[in-house]
Structure 1
């Protein structure tokens, strides 16, 4: 049975594209962002709903107390600030949504609300905000803090932050701009009002000095996995990205978010869940399997790469642990707690070295021809109930993008599983169109 149509997103890192093959000039020219312009245009043609731009605010040096491994592999640094890049990507496209990551721990609410209201205008209603609380002490130390606040406290701050930014976006009504030459009024002052917010964490007078955007507010994206994070996402998010392990956990996660959304008084259909995948596509199943075997053969690189991931997102220095033993039970994090719990479960009883060397960050293993992968995606959505997949490539390359947009997506489109066009003007309306 063919599932109902689902959505596609791409999780993009504004870091150096794949440079290890030595074949591409993109490794040294990517900072002008034209690589990402080509990328987002390919996504739009292929039927993607959005491209999401990840971000972090530090050069990690947690692993072994040095930034050597991080900069060797260019995992989280160097990178570009995604907020200004949104404008460039939007100018190059017509319909696709573009989501930028920004932290509630470090941005002031007024500046963020103003930046994203501006982006909503210049993208003509196609911007989204990936709400993160950040999880790294090294990032905190770039903003005058010794360490990142405690996990649940960060979500308390984020909840009030969303309250403030929403009030600011609503401080201009839809009727505020009249541009009436007869009366001489450009904007009606009775439709532009201070918010007078005084809360536990923020005092903001308002109003915003940027008019209400085409969407009213940006599409809100979140990645909550912990109980606190799930509650926050269910109350606030239009879409979530998540990496539960396997079909059963994918279904459980989506069902849980929808239940929490209903309990918060929301229509669960307004909250779309995207499961992270990283397909390996070949013209045949055998060709795809050969690509996978090539990946596994690069075990030392994979191990180092994942150690960078764990150090940056979990603030855990795995260099002090025996890599030939499993993750000790007493290892905890103030970082991404829900995701760390999932990764520990995926590692299981395997040694850190063995598990990390073969680890691919994905909810579902997708390896094969376009036909084989389309079958698996169709079956997964039928079982889980929706809503879509978010593709991840760390780092991206033109060849991998082509595998997806020119190889897999035409097969998905032929089956009617992904969109063939955009029926609405704004990102949020297109996201909710099916």
Structure 2
């Protein structure tokens, strides 16, 4: 069996704005109902979790201006207030929200995540990012953002500090003895007194332990230091490496690093990014895929803006009809994502040709009827070894319905995805198989 999850881009901000099937944008944008409804639909379809993406910045690298982002609706609302609303509308599915380790103090992080663990009855998880580009640092009072590898060095301390705070209350510290009037045992509540090079925190927390004690940790380690951080700390890892060999190699790498660090690697669930194109017939699915690729290839400016955000380098300055200079060593953003594009750009193509290649974040191409795509997903999992897939389609009602009502039932009838939830907490269900 394998897991299904959905990458909800931009929290409850933009979600495929302006498309033919985007729904009533004026009604949905900035309101929680769409996300509550869609997540309940995914829960019924057998999904393990939704992950709410976030970045505390209005992208302005492209042309040194936020104009493109403003014109195209690329905004974000903080995902954390959405978590309890989704939890209220659902019963079992895990809900993950994204937090920056670079600019969230450990005490604030530990207190907030514990509170949400309570409010979701143990179904909360946190996706840890170190953030990019430089504008993020400037939003938090710095002249520029921390260097890439330094961010992960700081994140190593950050998660240790947060765990120390989570553990300031022992699991059985709360007794609530009505006969003696004792709420909690003082002998089981301790100071953290964490003193690192980058983070210091005293504790103890003033929140009691949540149902999971340590909420589920999610991470998307792509670079070398990112993979190490994920393998050391995450319960579920999002992977975007291309092809079956890349998927298998990534999962094997996470397993190796986790084992070297004394972890049981079987408890780390790797989910691979996919963007399936579904149709009632193969011809319909292929036509939809062709139309999507043609539209994406024509949107050169959108790709330039996206690549600028990923790299932290303004891509508008380069000649589209000449080769792109190799700037991999200058990137201080999403290094692994940029490296994938850079390999194409450095293969003798012009910048325009590299941008016009097949669009998307998917690890493998999935095009066809629900039955054909289900075959492809099963075959991939058999070759890779696990552990599931993360859908990166826009979070529209149409996309969710096609997957939940078309693809998921085929997978469920074959017994390869869950047909219910055996446990109360997110972490227990994640570890079920």
Structure 2 length-normalised TM: 0.95
Q: Which residue of 1 aligns with 2:396?
A: 397
Q: Are 1:43 and 1:405, in contact at CA under 8 Å, matched by a contact in 2?
A: yes
Q: Are 2:87 and 2:95, in contact at CA under 8 Å, matched by a contact in 1?
A: yes
How many correspondences in the alignment?
Answer: 427
Deviation at 1:342, TM superposition (A): 2.0
Q: Of 154, 164, 168, which residue of structure 1 is paired with 2:161?
A: 164
Q: Which residue of 1 aligns with 2:178?
A: 181
Q: Which residue of 2 aligns with 1:407?
A: 406
Matched residues in 2 for 1:60 and 1:195: separation? Answer: 37
Counting only pairs closer than 5 Å after superposition, residues 323-402 of structure 1 correspond to structure 2 as: 323-331=320-328, 332-347=330-345, 348-357=347-356, 358-393=358-393, 395-402=394-401
Counting only pairs closer than 5 Å after superposition, residues 23-422 of structure 1 correspond to structure 2 as: 24-74=23-73, 77-299=74-296, 302-331=299-328, 332-347=330-345, 348-357=347-356, 358-393=358-393, 395-422=394-421
Cα deviations by residue, 1:133-166 (Å, 9 ceiling, x for unpaired) = 1121111111000111111110111011100110
Q: Secondary structure at the match of 2:139?
A: coil
Q: Secondary structure at the match of 2:80?
A: helix
Q: Secondary structure at the match of 1:221?
A: strand
Q: Secondary structure at the match of 1:312?
A: helix
Matched residues in 2 for 1:350 and 1:359: separation? Answer: 16
Matched residues in 2 for 1:63 and 1:380: separation? Answer: 36
Q: Which residue of 2 aligns with 1:11?
A: 7
Cα deviations by residue, 1:366-424 (Å, 9 ceiling, x for unpaired) = 1111111111111100000000110002x332111111111111111111111101111
Deviation at 1:312, TM superposition (A): 1.9
Relative distance call for 1:351 and 1:41 in structure 2 (3 A) is: farther
Matched residues in 2 for 1:425 and 1:352: separation? Answer: 50
Q: Are 2:297 and 2:359, in contact at CA under 8 Å, matched by a contact in 1?
A: no
Matched residues in 2 for 1:404 and 1:351: separation? Answer: 37
Structure 1 length-normalised TM: 0.95
Consecutive unaligned residues of structure 2, counting only runs of 5 or more, are none
Matched residues in 2 for 1:390 and 1:208: separation? Answer: 34
Matched residues in 2 for 1:344 and 1:172: separation? Answer: 47
Matched residues in 1 for 2:5 and 2:380: separation? Answer: 16
Deviation at 1:25, TM superposition (A): 1.3
Matched residues in 2 for 1:101 and 1:308: separation? Answer: 22
Deviation at 1:294, TM superposition (A): 1.5
User: What root-mean-square deviation, in Å, do the aligned CA atoms of Structure 1 and Structure 2 show?
Assistant: 1.5
Relative distance call for 1:147 and 1:9 in structure 2 (3 A) is: same
Matched residues in 2 for 1:401 and 1:304: separation? Answer: 28
Q: Secondary structure at the match of 1:342?
A: helix
Q: Which moved more, 1:343-352 or 1:275-284?
A: 343-352
Relative distance call for 1:207 and 1:90 in structure 2 (3 A) is: same
